[in-house]
Amino acid sequence: MGEADQIRIEALVEDARVHRDVYASEAVFKLEMERIWGRAWLYVGHVSQVPAPGDFITTTLGLTPVVMVRHTDGDTVHVLQNRCGHRGAIVCYQRSGHAKSGLFRCPYHGWIFRSDGSLRTTPSPRGYEDVGFDRDDPAFGMPRLPRVGIYRGFVFASLSETGPDLETFLGETRATIDNMVDRAPDGEVEVTGRVGHRFRHRNNWKFFIENLHDAMHPMVAHAATGDAVRQYVEAHPDTDDGRPEAEVIAPFGGSYDFFDEMGFVGLPLGHGYMGGSKSIFSHYEMYPDYLASMHAVYGEERTREILSYNKHNTLVYPSCTVRDGIQSIRVVKPVSVNETVIESWTFRLKGAPQDMLDRTLRYSRLINSPASCVGPDDLSCYDRIQEAAETRAIQWIDLHRHLGRDEQHGDTLTAIGTSDLALRNQYRAWLDYMVVD
Ligand code: FES
């Protein structure tokens, strides 16, 4: 593959296969950062991470370092490029903290910026007098991202000035976010801890989001874990199926029929989800205090409605995946063509008893952490495909399964859970972003 401007992107994706260069070409990765990550709405964080004026977190959107900060007005949350308007140095190195009086000081020459990104002062200001320097020129500040949007406390930003508004972009995935928040008796969630887990993958960013809805792998890649759970359940027939650990892990040893019935829904812009009526986390009888607090706020019928809405995983393409029923979000951080960091964040349901948070943390520990029973199985599979793509051991990645059997409902495609539609739908969006006139 040659330089970015020589790539024939259209030739890399066909109906039932994608070329290995989508995972292994540095030129393709560079274009992805510009055309997908530079245009889509990307998940930044949650407002509960910056509760007081001057509170901030730092992160990256694609390869762009940013600061999310609560402005000194107490209401506005700004997302700024973490770059100094003087010569471009990174301003904030901490992952989170509090900027006293809402001011950031660049560690190189000491320029000071307000929490809206504007330049406040420079040391020894006489050097800038009568030299044509305009302190109020935004170019000398920490640039504000062109678009920032907040949906029910979840902060998204776009590096592009144009495109659909946040609610239009999120589309049907808003229902998953709504459901996560509605599960809180107080109607709000908040982040727990500074970060749940940070999992470094030595492979391309797309493997993680493709695997999320690849329902053909759990019964093979996670067979050892699934078998162990089944053996435990058989050895303890006197206890019910609602045991916490079994509830979390058992589906990873589920049958092909289990995942087929779960189904997949492919939404516009690469978003999608599995599950709905059939998924995991439907045992609430073991949490009577939680049920009582929900009944008190919503009544029994609405509580049943909220808790039976049970999607397995919702992908907000390309930057995050949401589990409403377990209150967790995983965030995709591309580093290079063959390096990615997956962050796993957990949320507390405000007004819910502690055992609901324990349940969320248990899931994160058992499934999402680098030392979990499940995540390393997946990682070893991604690594093998990355190696095959880089060494040219293969030319194409196959996507034939149940090709041509999708059902179309407006701009949505549905299929049984083990269909490769889940991946084909992502590449439908990938092409739309990547091919520009
Ligand atoms: Fe920041 Fe010079 S690079 S003050």
Lowest mean pLDDT among 111-120, 320-329, 422-431: 320-329
Residue pLDDT, tens place only, 348-371: 999 999 989 998 888 888 888 888
Distance 56 CA to ligand 1 centre (A): 20
E strands in 255-402: 264-266, 272-276, 310-316, 320-323, 328-336, 339-349, 396-398
Q: Which of 92, 111, 142 should be mutated for ligand 1, with most atoms under 8 A from CB?
A: 111
E strands in 82-188: 96-98, 103-105, 112-114, 119-121, 147-151, 154-158
Comparison of pLDDT for 420 and 231, the residue scoring more: 420
The structure tokens listed for 221 are: 């890649």
pLDDT at 400 over 50: yes
pLDDT at 239: 57
pLDDT at 33 over 50: yes
* Average pLDDT, integer, range 110-122: 98
Find out whether 44 and 81 touch, Cβ atoms under 8 Å. no
Distance 135 CA to ligand 1 centre (A): 14
- Nearest-CA residue for ligand 1 atom 3 is 87
E strands in 7-76: 13-14, 17-19, 42-46, 55-61, 64-70
Q: Mean pLDDT of all residues in the chain?
A: 91
What ligand 1 atom has the least distance to the C-alpha of 106? 1
Percentage of the chain lying above the pLDDT 70 cut: 93
Distance 102 CA to ligand 1 centre (A): 18
| Residue whose token pair is 């964040």 | 345
pLDDT at 165: 98
pLDDT tier, 2 (very low <50, low <70, confident <90, very high otherwise): very low
Q: Which residues line ligand 1 (CB under 6 A)?
A: 84, 86-87, 89, 106, 108-111
Residue pLDDT, tens place only, 45-60: 999 999 999 999 999 9
Comparison of pLDDT for 70 and 305, the residue scoring more: 70
Distance 136 CA to ligand 1 centre (A): 16
Residue pLDDT, tens place only, 73-84: 999 999 999 999
DSSP run (H or E) holding 426: helix 421-434
**Structural class in CATH, domain 42-151:** mainly beta
The structure tokens listed for 365 are: 């520990």
* CA–CA dist 30, 33 (Å, integer): 5
pLDDT at 104 over 50: yes
Distance 360 CA to ligand 1 centre (A): 42
CATH superfamily for 170-435 is: Naphthalene 1,2-dioxygenase Alpha Subunit; Chain A, domain 1 (3.90.380.10)
Domain residue ranges of the chain, discontinuous segments joined by +? 42-151, 170-435
E strands in 317-375: 320-323, 328-336, 339-349
Cβ neighbours of 398 (radius 10 Å) = 11
pLDDT at 1: 46
